[in-house]
Amino acid sequence: MRRPDLVPDCASCAALCCVATSFERSEDFAFDKPAGVPCRYLTRGNRCAIHADLIGRGCRGCAVYDCYGAGQRATRAFATAPARLRNQAFLVLRGLHEQLWLLTEAAKLCPPSCGELRAELAAQVEVLDTLARGDVASLLEIDPSHYDQRTRALLCRVGEALGGRARWVRSSPEWERESPANDEMK
């Protein structure tokens, strides 16, 4: 079961994804929309006027978008913040929530025999949860790349623990399999 706080609840959100995000005309979006500008289909009540026909109207990207619960969290936590700051905080929260979702799902799959890895997953979840509970100013100071790298490394380790393929690293001009043997040759 997915963590309830990582499930989108559009009814409890001020349509932040329809305002804060940007997109370019493509096969997933019928038109360009800059960040910070409300979508042309957003109603005054912060609802999508074409929600029932997103794909038919050329907004497939909207139909598959998942904020991982960041929308309702930002709407609730930053209701009195200026819209620009709330939108920026939403984008940071969305990234943190996606990482939280990935890590909690990976923890469910992580073999019980990997106690140290399971503890590292739990520690990273706690770090991200703490960051996500921050105020607008704290969220806007976060360097997401630092946390992205740690999360990706943990996810790779879970994949390896589950018998997934080894990581591949680029070494000019060929790709090599990263293994202890390659490390010894360097």
pLDDT in tens, 19-73: 999 999 999 999 999 999 999 999 999 999 999 999 999 999 999 999 999 999 9
- Is the pLDDT at 176 greater than 80, yes or no? no
pLDDT number for residue 181: 44
Q: State the DSSP string of the chain.
A: ---GGGS--GGGS--THHHH--B-SSSS-SS-B-TTS--TTB-TTS-BTTGGGTTTTT-HHHHH---TTHHHHHHHHTTTS-HHHHHHHHHHHHHHHHHHHHHHHHHHHS-TT-HHHHHHHHHHHHHHHHHHTS-HHHHHT--HHHHHHHHHHHHHHHHHHTTPPPPEEEETTEEEE--HHHHHH-
- Is the pLDDT at 183 greater than 50, yes or no? no
- Is the pLDDT at 186 greater than 50, yes or no? no
Average pLDDT over residues 1-10: 92
Average pLDDT over residues 157-169: 81
Give the pLDDT band (50/70/90) at residue 2.
Answer: confident
Average pLDDT over residues 108-123: 97
Q: What is the mean pLDDT of the chain?
A: 90
